[in-house]
Every structure is written in structure tokens, then in C-alpha cells.
């Protein structure tokens, strides 16, 4: 990745007590480039207003709302900006839609969730199913490599299946799911709606909702260089046939009728810049469409992150007493790694690294189904190292230097 990329992220330039920190915590939330920070400050500084007013800042805010919907449509390759619904975060959007979707379920219907998912894409559907007397099945993972057990999913599908919630990539193990193939399986065996959690996928690869054929897809902009904002795609047929829970005087027009209360306009301003930032990573001229530049930008991200994954995995292999949970090659995965070190609690490891301002995480990351299946519930979960395109090899070398030291210390 080009050097000037890192220069755009003030967090990567800072010093904490004289030490330049290393952020390997991307899956928990990425760092933010200057263009996003500037857009948010500019919006609040000069355009801050609510929608629907007669005066200029309100009109500017209205046009920001349209720009943000178009940016999301370009990011997802949605057919129209009217397929986009914004919310506080991915979890709030899932809870919001779960109420409306569940109103179409009858007792005896079936819903499928997965053990690879963050519980943001499990609990809303399980709770809604409980209220409606609907059966919930959870697809396990293949334990050898923590990928989704697609055969098990296939075996659960039938004409009673009304809804499937599935992740595009695991925020814990980094395993990607071939969502297009999964949706083909689902749609050929049932009429189920499919809700895709792309929160961990969008920071690392481009999505195309039309190619996937999903009914819903959600991501969270704070995971891909933007502010805290949930960004949802839904098919027009779904937005029109379901009824939102909304306040009576709010306009009953899609997609706005799905957005509760006042949106975070400063987050929308930052989101547009985050999408433009991804597009700016491409070498294509600005005369090409934003969608083309987004896809080309992701190609650079993928190439760089694959290199980081290969570097990480080959170095990790050199250590004894480490168990990796997930794919051992750089294919079909994000550069997110979950592992345990024999005899050392995950929290002790992340605390050791924190002393050196190397930011890694430990725990279960709300992937409750995964850690229950893998028996990690009562033992502190895993250590998670998550790279982003702004990380580099010298940061990983520092990580491995410290890993060696940490293991020696605990011997």
C-alpha cells in the first residue's frame, strides 16, 4: 500500500508517552482519515440543521441526505439510492427490521441463524421468533477451519423456512462466506428472505447486492474508516411490502419511513467521505464512475491485506503452543486472526501488548454461537489480531517480536 495512505490517518501519527501506537484492532473499529474528520467538522460548523426547513442549511442537509444514499448505493451496487436505510448502527437496524419482518411470520414457520455470526445478526431474530412461536435453527461451523457448515444449512432448508440471517465474514476468525452460493441454496429450497451481515466484510472487499441476490445487507461505517452509522440495503419489494414501526406524523414514504427520529447528519457527511476515500485508493481517473473506482480501490486493499495475511500466518506457524481458530491460508479470509496460546489467558496477552501500545483484543466478540461450539465460553475466548489496509509489515514484525517476549515471560 502506498506510503501516503498512512499519512492520511492522524491516529497512526500520534504518540502515546513517546511511543507511536500500533493498531491491530481494526475489526473493533477502524481508524479514520482526515477527509472524513474534515467533512464531519465542516457539516457541524456550517451546515447543521434539521430536514424540511425553508432556509439554506436545511436544504444543504437535505442534499447531504441524498448524497449519502447515493454513496451507499454506489458502495453496495444497489439498483437505487432508495434501497438505502440509515440507522444508529447495524444492531439497531436489525432490531428495527426484525419487528417488521416478524409480523409476516406464523406459528410453525422456521428461521435460520448461524454460529459464525456476531449476535447482532442472531439475537434480534431469535427474540422475534420467540414472540411469534417460530422455530429457530442455528447452523454450526466446521470446527477444523471455522467456516460455515454449508451442508448443515442445506439440510435445514425447507418450505417452512421464512428467514435466514447469515454473515458475509466472521469478525472473530476472519472466515468469509460465499454468500452468493448460500443464497442460491436458500432460494432454491425456500421462499426465505435473506439478511446478510456485511459489517466485517465491507472493510476488506467490495459487495454487490445485485450479484448476491440478498434481500437485506447491512454494514457499519465505523468499521471502514467512517463514523458510527449503520447502513442498510433492502430490496424495494421488501421495503414496500413490510410496515415500519414509525411515529404517525412522519412521512410514510420509502426509504425515509424506516428511519426513526433525526439522523446523525454529521455521520452521513463522514460516511460520504469514507466511501470517497475507498474510491480514492484506486488508480482510475475521477472521470470513471464512483462504483468503478470503489471496486478498483478494494482491489488494492485485497492485494495488500492478502500479503499481510500470508506474512502473519507464516510467522505464527513458527511458534509452538499456539492454536489458530480459522483458515490457515490467506485465501477466503480477511486479515483477522483468532488464536490462543497454551497456558496464557487471552486477557493477559492483550494486557502485555497494551504496555507497548500495541492494540490487540481478547474475548468473544459477541460471536456467542462460535465460542459455545468451540468450548471457549469459560476460558476467556481468544486473542484477536485484526489488520487493515493501513497496517504494514514492520508493525507485524513488532507484533511477533513482542509475542516471543510474551511467551518467554509466561514460561
Q: Restricting to residues 20-39, name those near ligand PLP by CB under 6 A.
A: 27
Q: Which stretch binds ligand PLP (CB under 6 A): 115-123, 132-140, 265-273, 286-294?
A: 115-123
Q: Restricting to residues 130-169, name those near ligand PLP by CB under 6 A.
A: 167
Closer residue to ligand PLP (CB): 25 or 215: 25
In angstroms, what is the minimal distance from the CB of 318 to ligand PLP?
A: 29
248: phi then psi, degrees, rounded to nearest 5: -55, -45
**Member of 199, 268, 338, 407 binding ligand PLP (CB under 6 A):** 199
Residue 141 contacts residue 116 (beta carbons within 8 Å): yes
Q: Which stretch binds ligand PLP (CB under 6 A): 195-203, 236-244, 245-253, 256-264?
A: 195-203
Q: Which stretch binds ligand PLP (CB under 6 A): 84-92, 123-131, 248-256, 310-318?
A: 84-92
**Member of 118, 311, 333, 389 binding ligand PLP (CB under 6 A):** 118
**Member of 69, 200, 293, 333 binding ligand PLP (CB under 6 A):** 200
Closer residue to ligand PLP (CB): 74 or 197: 197
Closer residue to ligand PLP (CB): 71 or 165: 165
Q: Could you say whether residue 263 binds ligand PLP (CB under 6 A)?
A: no
Closer residue to ligand PLP (CB): 334 or 392: 334
For residue 255, whether the previous peptide bond is cis, meaning omega lies within 30 degrees of 0, is yes
Question: Which residue is listed with cell 485508493?
Answer: 281
**Member of 39, 171, 350, 373 binding ligand PLP (CB under 6 A):** 171
Q: Could you say whether residue 175 binds ligand PLP (CB under 6 A)?
A: no
Q: Which stretch binds ligand PLP (CB under 6 A): 39-47, 89-97, 273-281, 377-385?
A: 89-97
Q: Which stretch binds ligand PLP (CB under 6 A): 101-109, 117-125, 184-192, 332-340?
A: 117-125
Q: Which stretch binds ligand PLP (CB under 6 A): 85-93, 245-253, 267-275, 375-383?
A: 85-93
Q: Which stretch binds ligand PLP (CB under 6 A): 7-15, 51-59, 197-205, 338-346?
A: 197-205
Q: Give the whole-angstrom CA distance, residue 194 versus residue 166.
A: 7
**Member of 42, 58, 77, 89 binding ligand PLP (CB under 6 A):** 89
Closer residue to ligand PLP (CB): 173 or 220: 220
Q: Could you say whether residue 220 binds ligand PLP (CB under 6 A)?
A: yes
Closer residue to ligand PLP (CB): 161 or 219: 219
3-state SS string for the chain: CCHHHHHCCHHHHCCECCECCEECEHHHCCCCCHHHHHHHHHHHHHHCCCCCCCCHHHHHHHHHHHHHHHHHHHHHCCCCHHHEEEECCHHHHHHHHHHHHHCCCCCCCEEEEECCCCHHHCHHHHHHHHHHCCEEEEECEECCCCEECHHHHHHHCCCCEEEEEEECECCCCCEECCHHHHHHHHHHHCCCEEEEECCCCCCCCCCCHHHHCCCEEEEEHHHCCCCCCEEEEECHHHHHHCCCCCCCCCCCCCCHHHCCCCCCHHHHHHHHHHHHHHHHCCCCCCCCCHHHHHHHHHHHHHHHHHHHHHHHHHHHHCCCCEEEECCCCCCCECCEEEEEECCECHHHHHHHHHCCCEECEEECCCCHHHHHHCCCCCCCCEEEEECCCCCCHHHHHHHHHHHHHHHHHCC
In angstroms, what is the minimal distance from the CB of 88 to ligand PLP?
A: 8
Q: Could you say whether residue 221 binds ligand PLP (CB under 6 A)?
A: no
Q: Give the whole-angstrom CA distance, residue 305 versus residue 79.
A: 29
In angstroms, what is the minimal distance from the CB of 169 to ligand PLP?
A: 7
Binding positions for ligand PLP, rule: CB under 6 A: 27, 89-91, 118, 120-121, 167, 171, 197, 199-200, 220, 230
Amino acid at each position: 500500500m502506498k506510503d501516503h495512505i498512512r499519512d492520511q490517518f492522524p491516529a497512526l501519527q500520534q504518540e502515546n508517552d513517546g511511543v507511536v501506537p500500533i493498531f491491530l484492532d481494526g475489526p473493533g473499529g477502524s481508524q479514520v482519515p482526515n477527509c472524513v474528520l474534515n467533512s464531519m467538522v465542516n457539516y457541524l460548523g456550517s451546515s447543521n440543521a434539521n430536514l424540511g426547513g425553508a432556509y439554506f442549511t436545511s436544504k444543504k442537509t437535505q442534499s447531504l441526505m441524498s448524497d449519502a444514499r447515493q454513496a451507499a448505493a454506489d458502495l453496495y451496487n444497489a439498483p437505487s439510492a432508495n434501497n438505502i436505510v440509515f440507522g444508529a448502527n447495524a444492531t439497531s437496524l436489525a432490531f428495527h427490521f426484525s419487528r417488521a419482518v416478524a409480523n409476516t411470520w406464523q406459528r410453525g414457520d422456521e428461521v435460520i441463524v448461524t454460529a459464525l455470526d456476531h449476535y447482532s445478526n442472531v439475537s434480534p431474530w431469535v427474540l422475534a421468533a420467540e414472540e411469534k412461536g417460530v422455530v429457530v435453527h442455528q447452523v454450526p461451523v466446521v470446527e477444523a477451519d471455522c467456516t460455515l457448515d454449508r451442508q448443515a444449512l442445506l439440510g435445514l432448508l425447507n418450505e417452512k423456512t421464512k428467514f435466514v440471517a447469515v454473515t458475509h465474514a466472521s469478525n472473530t476468525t476472519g472466515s468469509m462466506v460465499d454468500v452468493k452460493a448460500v443464497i442460491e441454496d436458500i432460494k432454491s429450497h425456500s421462499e426465505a428472505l435473506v439478511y446478510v451481515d456485511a459489517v466485517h466484510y465491507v472493510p476488506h472487499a467490495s459487495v454487490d447486492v445485485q450479484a448476491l441476490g440478498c434481500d437485506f445487507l447491512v454494514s457499519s461505517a465505523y468499521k471502514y474508516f467512517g463514523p458510527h452509522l449503520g447502513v442498510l440495503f433492502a430490496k424495494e419489494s421488501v421495503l414496500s411490502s413490510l410496515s415500519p414501526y414509525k411515529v404517525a406524523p412522519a412521512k410514510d414514504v420509502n426509504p425515509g419511513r424506516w428511519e426513526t427520529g433525526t439522523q446523525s447528519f454529521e455521520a452521513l457527511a463522514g460516511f460520504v467521505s469514507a466511501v470517497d476515500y475507498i474510491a480514492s485508493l484506486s488508480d482510475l481517473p475521477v472521470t470513471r464512475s464512483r462504483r468503478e473506482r470503489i471496486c478498483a480501490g478494494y482491489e488494492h486493499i485485497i492485494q495488500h491485506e492478502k500479503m499481510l495475511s500470508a506474512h502473519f500466518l507464516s510467522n505464527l506457524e513458527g511458534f509452538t503452543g499456539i492454536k489458530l481458530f480459522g483458515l490457515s491460508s490467506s485465501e477466503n479470509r480477511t486479515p483477522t486472526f483468532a488464536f490462543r496460546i497454551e497456558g496464557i489467558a487471552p486477557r493477559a496477552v492483550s494486557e502485555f501488548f497494551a504496555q507497548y501500545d500495541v492494540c490487540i483484543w481478547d474475548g468473544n466478540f459477541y460471536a456467542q454461537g462460535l465460542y459455545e461450539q468451540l468450548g471457549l465460553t469459560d476460558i476467556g475466548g481468544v486473542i484477536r489480531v485484526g489488520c487493515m489496509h493501513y497496517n504494514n509489515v514492520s508493525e507485524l514484525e513488532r507484533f511477533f517480536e513482542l509475542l516471543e517476549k510474551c511467551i518467554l515471560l509466561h514460561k
